[in-house]
Chains A and B, each alone.
Chain A
Amino acid sequence: MKYKYLILVLIPILMFLSSCIQNSFEEPPEVTIPVGEALTIGDLRQMYIDSILTGPYITYKFTNDYSVYAVVTMDDKSGNIYKSAFIQDNTGAVNLHMQASGGLYLGDSIRLNLNGCILGDYEGMLQIDSVHVEKNIRKIATHMFRTPKLLTIPQINTGLYQAQLIQLEDVQFIESDLGKTFADGENLLTENRTLEDCNGNQLIVRTSGYSSFASEQIPEGKGEIIGILSQHRDEWQLYIRKMDEVNMDGLRCGEYIAILEENFDNVVQGADIVLTDWTNFGSILWKGVNNGYDTMARVGGSGENTSWLITPEFSIEEHPNLKLSFITRAMNLNQSSLKVYISSDFTSGSNPEDATWTEFTNVIIASSANNTNSGDIDLSDYSGNVHIAFKYNCSATGSGSYFLDNVLVFTD
């Protein structure tokens, strides 16, 4: 009977003390990635040229430790690229083709050990293939964002910027792309869209149907865009990273907003020009031309004369990038001139001679009877509420006439 209680006490103790089931696990040791010799991306590009482009190999597989230090300029988080990333250092940029998606993020400063990776190209695009995000890469820092390189479309075609982060300004999507989306997000299809500058130079923007912005509308305006410059055979393609980097809400090439526009359509043939808020002042006055073919303003004669035609007042500050343009024609010029001025202290209807005027020097004024465009005169250096004056001057022995049309103050 004594044993009974002994057993009764011992058994539970034995039971609960012994445990052969593992409950906690030791962390595996850290895996270090050897450094080896350091290479720049420029070195890689040179290797590619030496051994693949002109050399005997189709691809080159690294079997030793080489380290490339670079910054991630594009990840596959947005879905625009898949199992892929772009890295860049001061010597250039290259595309990484990863074994699995995810794990590298924009702004990661990394050391890439090339051992096991394959250098090659895909349709002209330099690529490091078979990169494993854990086995080949160690992260050094985060949020090291690179500033994009400001380029023009013609510069792209030099081929010096493959895989780099670039920025284009004053570009727009071509007319036929407007109303479309970046890609077919519904059916997950990749689509090409075309960018152009105001000179008609074009660049493809390629977007995956899997990207988070595939179904976004193509912006209709002109502006700036940031992306990664990719190449497919002879074609250059821009990959957008995120919608924040597409800012194209300006006016398209050739479009403007008029602050002041006067085509002299309603002037009376031969009569002094009288227009609301305009000032017509001088020894001879500006007169209307309305002869069935043209409507314009005309000034001229012979002998010493000074004539002012002054626009209504407008504000420089209210509108960014204000510009002035107009058209002139000239006849029988002899010691006569037409000059264009700006003033911020003139009052409509007062004597222009009392105000301070600054002459525009880079204006093209007609010297013949052909319509002559003044060119776009930048007004953004001026300030305040201003008037523009067209001032005719003729010497006592001189003569000549000027015609003025399509006076336009605009922003684009």
Chain B
Amino acid sequence: MKKYLIILSLLCVGYSVFSQVEKDTTRQEAVENSAPVISLSISDVDGDEDSQDISGLLQSSKDIFVSTAGYTFGQSRYNIRGYDSDNTQVMINGVTVNDINSGRAYWSNWGGLNDATRNTVVLSGLGFYDYGFGRIGGATNIITRASEYIPQTRVSYSLANKSYNNRLMFIHSTGLMENGWAFTASGSKRWAVNGYSEGSFYDAYSYFVAAEKKLNNKHSFGLTIFGSPSRRGGSSVSIQEIYDLTGDHYYNSNWGYQNGEVRNARVSNYHQPHFMLTHYYDINEKMSLTSSLHYTFGRGGSTALNWYDAADPRPDYYRYLPSYWEEQNPFMVNYLTNLWQNDELYRQLDWDAFYDANRNNLYTVNNVNDIDGNNVTGYRSKYIIEDRRNDIAQFDFNTTLKHNINPDLAMISGINITKNRGHHFKEIVDLLGGDWWLDIDQFAERDFNDEYTSQSDIENYNRLVTEGDVFGYNYYSDINIYDAFTQIQYKTNYLDFYAGIDLSYTEFWRTGMMRNGKFPSNSKGESEHQQFFNYNIKGGVNYKITGRNFLILNAAYLTKAPYFRYSYVSPRTRNDAVEGLSSETIMTGDLSYIYRSPFVQARITGYYTDFTDQLFNVSFYHDELNTFVNYIMTGVDKLHYGGELGVEVKASATLTLHGVLGYGQYIYNSRPTVTIAQDNDSEILAENRTVYLKDYHVGGMPELAASVGFKYNAPKYWFVGVNGNYFGENYVTPNPERRTEETLTAYISTDPQLEVILEQEKLDHGFTIDIWGGKSWKIDDYYLGFTLSVNNILNNKDLKIKGFEQYRFEPSDYDKFPNKYYYMYGRTYFLNVYFRF
């Protein structure tokens, strides 16, 4: 027992040690050979959930490629196979918890509950999976069954210089007690007064309670409640000019001084507690049924500045930059350069000035609330903080039947019902010293010169709103999904097969709560219901050439309903759905060769994925039009293909060497059609334009990532490891608008500028080194340990990890709105000290 505990404690500090993963291997025995399947996460070298995605879940994969991609490559925003996170299914006790609006999985939903969500079963890519059908990127099931937690109390403190600086975390588990009960409680606090980029703060808590009652050998009931309330001050992304002016590749335009205190304008504030009741039913030796009822609700949203008839408050607005004056006024260039370099008040938000502006803007609004002669005089806020809310309420029912028909034949089947209602609206958070805000649309006011048209809600004409009031837009999204799947696996001496099918029906609609002055007939009330029937088919074969050589082939063909958030022309203002809305089709396959011996583990994989008929709908704020513009592309096809290589060599009992390489091409494979709509005007800016996007890279992440390193595991409970990482083939995300004929009419075909506009920038490749290590001690019955990881130890601050072309584009002056970039953090550390008893 003691030895077991020592090993476990080592595991607690260990970094995804392939050979030492012992719990749950039985659970996954059926698929042991169909790598890359991952089980059990016992890694504590984690910490930063900055990217709010699922990469954290992959960090402790059994597969060296996947674990490296999840952890080491995470800092470069590398995505396995270039897939968005909506292609990975994330579940808790079998219930899918991907955000239903976008399909994405948000790690922050259980952020800070690392201790409590450690028990995961991960499927990377396609395969036979015990807990659900999975998606093309794989699946992860977090198991929160109280009886499966090791009885322990664990307290840890972490010190870091990433998005947060401090973390305090505890967990206490009873294990299954003699009375049939099991309890686990966990909680954490993470905070930073100043995160990695200046002015970004972090203030997050989490709580977790799991209880289980074993009634008898057949029936157990589990209850899980958890949540992660968090408030975070946002950071920004800038163009190179700003980085150069400030000398800071992490410049943050979102903060400024108020009364001498640092205040951030973009604060995200989430709290969506989850409640889950699970019934574990072991029908007989061969069959088990797990059923869950799940309910989650709560608030989500981020604040932002809004302003009316006043100077743009954002310090990085393009007209405030020296470059804006380059050709017209050299004096201004010098003047602004000096301000940018030396005047913090100029390069950051000036909150005091916002208050001053609001408190001086005496204003009279006539006929308030549509009452003739009801003229109200007061201080009309010019600058406000609004909260752009996306609240949800979701109910799920899930049941999964696992049937091991005989030792060679297994079947997993399940049913899911999901009913989701999202509430999307804006709320006034802070009037910044003013008395009220008039709920009209300033763009419409300017362009239509008509007080009626400019009303956000004509049923509340000339409404004055104050803090806590809903304004601007207000609508519900209703999404219902009914899903059923089954999959079987059959094993023979030389061949394993599996196949599965999933059928689903998706229905969604919009319900407007405001009658918008510009769209009085189609803004309020329920929209037409959109309905989609979808199917997924997958299958695979594992050819066991010898006991050490495996050849695995997987394939899937599926259709996917469009997501609600992309399906409306302008969901903030009206019920109009995108024309020709249809499901996308995905065809994918991969072929792997796996070699396994006691000393060498290796995998080489080739994959090919064809996405067709994707919908692309991006909404961005157009400064000049002063409104949200919705850029909607249909018929977007993408091709992702490439290879993955992972090798792990046990050089000795203590030394492990590893090497990992991922290289792919993620490219557009069609000429999509674009429609450009506005929130504030029914006028369609463009319709059925052809975008010449074929063969451009999807961009936004490195297509090439490699890592080599070693790990030394000393017998005396310490370890150290080093990784050298390379990132390359990173293209900026292209702006489709730059690849349309209509935009480029100003240029003759031989104009050399044309090439510059059409070219897709490739970011410089880069190299980083990470080290990590840890040690643990056993003192009587107590365990004390620490781990330390240092990423990018060479402090390379010049590595751009993501770039994108701005959607705003001026055809006559193509570099007026240059590309924006994210830089990889410089040297960061994460020190974790824990105490267990």
Residues on A lying within 8 angstroms of B by beta carbon are: 4, 7-8, 11-12, 14-16, 19-23, 25-31, 77-79, 100-103, 105, 107-108, 133-135, 137-143, 212-213
Contacts and interface: CB of A to CB of B under 8 A. Distances in A.
B621 interface: no
Q: Which 6 pairs show the lowest CB-CB distances between chains A and B?
A: A102-B309, A139-B362, A21-B203, A142-B364, A100-B311, A15-B189
Interface string B359-392: 1111110000000000101000010000000000
Contact of A28 (B201, B352, B375): B352
Contacts of A78: 449
Nearest to B357: A134
Given A4-B153, A134-B360, A28 B191 contact: no
A134 B310 CA distance: 11
B360 A15 contact: no
Contacts of A143: 364, 375, 377
Interface string B336-363: 0000000000000001110111011111
A21 B170 CA distance: 21
Given A16-B189, A22-B262, A105-B363, 4 more contacts: A8-B172, A11-B155, A103-B357, A108-B362
B261 A25 contact: yes
Contacts of A102: 309-311, 382
A8 to B, nearest CB: 6
A21 B267 CA distance: 12
A4 B837 contact: yes
Contacts of A137: 360
26 contacts: A7-B153, A8-B153, A11-B155, A11-B187, A12-B187, A15-B168, A15-B189, A16-B189, A20-B191, A22-B262, A22-B263, A27-B355, A28-B259, A28-B356, A31-B356, A77-B309, A78-B449, A101-B309, A103-B310, A103-B357, A108-B362, A133-B360, A134-B357, A134-B360, A137-B360, A140-B362
A19 B355 contact: no
B205 interface: yes
Contacts of B491: none
Given A19-B203, A28-B351, A8 B310 contact: no
Contacts of B359: 30
B189, B205, B377, most chain A CB atoms within 10 A: B189
B3 interface: no
Interface in B184-206: 187-189, 191, 193, 201-203, 205
Interface in B148-193: 153, 155, 168, 170, 172, 187-189, 191, 193
B690 interface: no
A12 to B, nearest CB: 5
Given A21-B193, A26-B259, A142 B377 contact: yes
Nearest to B430: A25
B446 interface: yes
B258 interface: yes
Contacts of B360: 133-134, 137-139
Contacts of A79: 446
Given A28-B351, A138-B360, A20 B193 contact: yes
A139 B361 contact: yes
A12 B203 contact: no
B218 to A, nearest CB: 33
Contacts of B187: 11-12, 15
Contacts of B565: none
Contacts of B263: 22, 25
B403 interface: no
B170 A25 contact: no
B258 A25 contact: yes
B664 interface: no
Contacts of A21: 191, 193, 201-203, 231
B170 A12 contact: yes
B205 A25 contact: no
Contact of B433 (A27, A107, A138, A139): A27
B168 A11 contact: yes
A8 B170 contact: yes
Nearest to B358: A134
B351 A142 contact: no
Nearest to A21: B203
Contacts of A15: 168, 187-189, 205
Contact of A142 (B258, B309, B363): B363
A25 to B, nearest CB: 5
Nearest to A138: B360
B449 A28 contact: no
Contacts of A135: 356
Nearest to A137: B360
A55 to B, nearest CB: 27
Nearest to B206: A15
A13 to B, nearest CB: 11
A108 to B, nearest CB: 7
B202, B449, B837, most chain A CB atoms within 10 A: B449
A19 B353 CA distance: 28
A212 B449 contact: yes
A138 B359 CA distance: 10
B150 to A, nearest CB: 15
Interface in B492-547: none
A29 B262 CA distance: 16
Contact of B170 (A11, A27, A31, A100): A11
A381 B404 CA distance: 109
Nearest to A75: B309
Interface string B193-224: 10000000111010000000000000000000
A4 B155 CA distance: 10
A259 B261 CA distance: 78
Contact of B446 (A8, A100, A212): A212
A62 to B, nearest CB: 20
A8 B170 CA distance: 8
B191 A100 contact: no
Contacts of B261: 22, 25-26
Contacts of A28: 258-259, 351-352, 355-356
B362 A134 contact: no
Contacts of B361: 103, 139
A406 B189 CA distance: 99
Contacts of A142: 362-364, 377
B837 A134 contact: no
Contacts of B311: 100-102
Contacts of A7: 153, 155
Interface in B585-609: none
A397 B298 CA distance: 112
Nearest to A143: B364
B170 A141 contact: no
A103 B259 contact: no
Contacts of A139: 360-362
Contacts of B375: 143
Contacts of A133: 357, 360
Contacts of A134: 353, 356-357, 360
Nearest to A3: B837
Contacts of A19: 191, 203
Contacts of B433: 27
Nearest to B355: A28
Contacts of B258: 25-26, 28
A182 B155 CA distance: 75
Contacts of B382: 102-103
A369 B837 CA distance: 131
B212 to A, nearest CB: 19
B155 A100 contact: no
Nearest to B382: A103
Contacts of A138: 360
A396 B294 CA distance: 121
B355 A16 contact: no
B237 to A, nearest CB: 23
Nearest to B312: A100
B437 to A, nearest CB: 15
